[in-house]
Structure 1
Amino acid sequence: MKTRITEMLGIEYPIIQGGMAWVAEHNLAAAVSEAGGFGLIGGANAPGEVVRAEIRKAKELTDKPFGVNVMLLSPHAEDVAKVVVEEGIKVVTTGAGNPEKYMDMWKSAGIKVIPVVASVALARRMEKYGADAVVAEGTESGGHIGEQTTMTLVPQVVDAVSIPVIAAGGIGDGRGIAAAFMLGAEAVQMGTRFVVAKESIVHANYKQRVIKAKDIDSAVTGRSHGHPVRCLRNQMTREYVKLEQAGKSFEELEYLTLGALRNAVMDGDVTNGTVMAGQIAGMVSKEQTCKEMIEEMMAQASRLMHWS
């Protein structure tokens, strides 16, 4: 299965694991890469040295290529941007913002830069500034989201840029991969399905909440402040939406969610924590190894696309 993305990243299958905060650490990234996909370490809000340690641990587990997702809103973004260069990382994806100020440094270090975009305008701008590909991420995805659906965003981005496009948001099986290719994508990025991987360090409560989720269990908080985040409904989301409707300030609402993702991922608090997951959670029904997931999905996609 060769596309411009598999060639660029040096991978067997056109599947990239999302750089999910607190979830995408060295164990998961290495396991996805070992299975023929492309693993990512999520920089999240972590300091540069923490990310450096994660990179080094991943290198002990795999000699296959993997990358780092740099969260541009992080107070440590500048440090992490330098660490990826120092550690010889070859591929960086970026989220929550515009990576232009780091582009020159990364490009001169031979790093491929793949920004996550939620609009055609940002995709065009990223191409102009030297991005090697873009991830067009629909509103179906978990965590911070834009407004366009994957179905509408991906083909519009494909038509707007000449660099390869990776589809993300609402993709959880071989049918989703085949559909993304039909829309013109050359790879997919997936987060929610990999949350429940056997190699994922996420707390068992969090995994079970994703596995038991139904199609309607998705909630979006923060729309009123322009920072929408998709997660699974629980006590925290109900409380948040109530305060949002009461017109509470962004600061007050942020206080409610402080550390909430970490509490869910690490401590298993799925009642008051933030259980980030995409709308596809309703279709994620079992824990498997990354290898089992990737092989199952690729076999299904290959049948549908008549690749084999």
Structure 2
Amino acid sequence: MSDATISTALTELVGVRHPVVQTGMGWVAGPRLVSAAANAGALGILASATMPVDRLRSAVREVRSRTEAPFGVNLRADASDAADRVRVIVEEGVRVASFALAPSRELIARLKDAGVVVIPSIGARRHAEKVAAWGADAVVVQGGEGGGHTGDTATSVLLPQVVDAVDIPVVAAGGFHDGRGLAAALAYGAAGIAMGTRFLLTSDSTVPDTVKARYLAATVKDVTVTTKVDGLPHRMLRTDLVDTLERSGRATALLRAVRHAAAFRHESGTSWSRMVRDGIAMKHGRELTWSQVLLAANTPMLLKASMVEGRTDLGVMAAGQVAGVIDDLPSCAELVDRIITQARATLRALPPAD
């Protein structure tokens, strides 16, 4: 492994060797992947939304048993048990808290008072400005190329807007998989890159091999955006199941969502009353209809079917557009090393300024 590094505001903020973030993917970013990314010098992020609070604590301790490097935990700011999860993060001395939705000013303050670095993910300039004003330490900016829930503005358009709008480190996400992408992000003014699909497709990922094979076989045209899973734009691999979902009517979709809500309640140990409270918070936070809130119950269980059980016929596979250009399964150490090596070579090869 090379000793070469690239120091940025991100590496200085969180104490990692390289300006690379492994994102908190539900059912994917567990202790094994997170610790492997951390040991490779990247910032590994543990996904917590799909696990009960007591499992989160044990998962954090498992990561710490595997690495001495800094790592983070991703959580939903609108979850009714967010305060309990924040308590675990603080008590366990986790370095970074990341959020898929903007946390409140009060939540940011509580984490910062405990010495936790707060890094929300955002998809619009105004959201970045808001969380920066509330005290966020950095932001991850995801363009439309990113996997999972995504917007329609390309990273190349969104990223420079956010870099110009805030004075905190900006991490670029959506469309990154190699060192050339890191060099490009740095040129835009970013302090690093965040990747989900690229880390999912590593030998350290616990995703079943059969599922990884489906990703590796995909072309760029096999990655699509649909609203039929949970009512929101969701980027994933196009499969027979996705085609079926897109042909299904509203009544069928809502019935499926009810079944999945029941399954997720059992899986996560969440009560019906807590799920209702979370639904109300989700509806308010994203201005969703009740149908969309109910459809949101589809996502965790459809992802689990593929990412954990290997049932691509019953589950969906969230994927960034980069899935269509990835063709191997390196270890996290190999991946991060070659990204940094290639980024440094790319930057050196640029013509000198006059």
The alignment's TM-score, normalised by the length of structure 1, stands at 0.94
Deviations 1:253-295 (A, max 9, x none): 5565561100101111112201111110011111111010111
* 2:72 corresponds to: 67
Cα-to-partner distance string for 1:143-163 (whole Å, 9 max, x where unaligned)? 111221111110000000010
Partners of 1:209 and 1:74 lie apart in 2 by 32
Q: Partner of 1:8 in structure 2? A: 13
Mean Cα deviation higher: 54-63 or 70-79:
70-79
Mapping of 1:148-159 within 5 angstroms? 148-159=153-164
Task: Return the structure number with greater relative CO, CA threshold 8 A, min gap 6.
Answer: 2
Task: Report the equivalent of 1:129.
Answer: 134
Could you tell me which of 301, 305, 308 is aligned with 1:259?
301
Q: More displaced, 112-121 or 93-102?
A: 93-102
1:72 deviates by 2.6
Counterpart residue number, 1:214? 219
Measured against aligned partners, the alpha-carbon deviations of 1:121-174 in whole angstroms (never above 9, x if no partner) come to 000000000000000111111111122111111000000001010000010111
Residue number among 278, 293, 296 corresponding to 2:320 in the alignment: 278
Task: Report whether the alignment pairs 1:234 with 2:239.
Answer: yes
The structure whose Rg is larger is 2
1:47–1:76 contact (8 Å) kept in structure 2: no
Whole-angstrom distance in 2 between the partners of 1:294 and 1:280:
16
Question: Aligned to 1:140, which of 131, 145, 150?
Answer: 145
Letter in 1 for 2:331: T
- The answer for the alignment partner of 2:168 in structure 1 is 163
Amino acid at match of 1:127: A
Q: Secondary structure at the match of 1:261?
A: helix
In 2, Cα distance between equivalents of 1:204 and 1:148: 32
Structure 2 counterpart of 1:290, from 316, 319, 332: 332
Letter in 2 for 1:290: C
1:80 matched to 2:122? The reply is: no
8 Å contact kept, 1:20–1:44: no
Q: Is 1:36 paired with 2:78?
A: no
Distance in structure 1 (CA, Å) of the matches to 2:306 and 2:131: 33
Instruction: Give the count of matched residue pairs.
Output: 308
Structure 2: segments with no counterpart, 5+ residues: 1-5, 254-290
Give the drift of 1:90. Answer: 1.7
1: CA distance between counterparts of 2:244 and 2:295? Answer: 10
Aligned equivalents of 1:148, 1:164: Cα separation in 2: 20
Deviations 1:27-83 (A, max 9, x none): 111101101111110112322111111100000000011111112344543321221
CA spacing shift, 1:242–1:223, aligned 2, 3 Å: closer
Q: Report the Cα distance in structure 2 between the residues aligned to 1:65 and 1:203, rounded to whole angstroms.
A: 27
Q: Structure 2: which amino acid aligns with 1:62?
A: T
1:94 matched to 2:99? The reply is yes
Which residue number corresponds to residue 285 of structure 2?
none
Consecutive unaligned residues of structure 1, counting only runs of 5 or more, are: none
Letter in 2 for 1:178: A
